[in-house]
Amino acid sequence: MYLWKYWRESRITFAVALLLVALMLWAVLKISLGAAQHDGQDSNPAQIYMIMDGILMLPLAFLGLRYGSFGVGRDLGEGCGSFVFSRPGSRAFFVWSDWGFGMAQLLLIVVAANSVLLLAIHRTAPGSGSILVSGVPVSLFSVFCLHCTAGLLLCGLMFGLTYFSSVLLKSRGVMLSIGFLMAYLVAKSVVSHYWRDVTLPNLSLTEFSVSPSIDGAFAKNLGLIIALRAGIALLFPVAAQLLLQQRDID
């Protein structure tokens, strides 16, 4: 079964990711237990959220890159693509099987990691069902759902980019995707420096407004931004499928 093959390639990464989530949970429980022993020192849950938000996104981006290197692109780099495609099923089947199974694993990791984030916020403010973001109270459930969405969109973007790059350049696909990301970050910095009125979007979703406004804590046009980012992430596996259909596999 083809999905079993993808699982064999990705299972170590999946297990290590869950182990790191477990270690993060242990650290949260230990730190929050120690903080509870100090009277009069209340932590700001919104500050905890911002700190853990920055810590969490980089590993999720790496996981997306890692998962994108598995599947068809890896087979092409190892020279066994002709054997894989000799099995029943269209090339679109292999692409979307890779993408669907990989994203399912990433979804589990994202939900587990954000559950720890939610627990950290809850432990810093027991009995509180919301945190202040841009001066507006936002329910912890909304924070959890939006941050899971942001993490999954980031993983999907990295996954799709690396997957397409691996199909395009085989074993050098990961380096191509990293090079593209670095070039984008440099371009974003240059544009913000020389053209102050132009701002390129961040790689990760900004769920909440940066400063208080009459629109509330949520970022403007949040639903539209989520839909656009999901569409961009889906463009890469579509492009990989089209490329595979036009390519002769040795």
Domain boundaries, the chain: 2-246
DSSP string for the chain = -HHHHHHHHHHHHHHHHHHHHHHHHHHHHHHHHHHTTSTT----HHHHHHHHHHHHHHHHHHHHHHHHTSTHHHHHHTT-HHHHHTSSS-HHHHHHHHHHHHHHHHHHHHHHHHHHHHHHHHHHSTT--EEEETTEEEEHHHHHHHHHHHHHHHHHHHHHHHHHHHHHHGGGHHHHHHHHHHHHHHHHHHHHHH-TT--PPPSS---B-SS--TT-SBPTTHHHHHHHHHHHHHHHHHHHHHHHHHPPP-
pLDDT (0 to 100) of residue 40: 43
pLDDT digits (tens, 9 = 90+) for 111-157: 999 998 888 777 766 666 777 776 777 888 888 899 899 999 999 99
* pTM assigned to the model: 0.86
pLDDT digits (tens, 9 = 90+) for 173-194: 789 899 999 999 999 899 988 8
pLDDT (0 to 100) of residue 216: 65
- 37 versus 55: the higher-pLDDT residue is 55
**Confidence tier at 110 by pLDDT (50, 70, 90):** very high
Average pLDDT of the residues in 94-109: 93
204 has a pLDDT exceeding 80? yes
pLDDT (0 to 100) of residue 67: 93
Q: What average pLDDT is seen over the chain?
A: 81
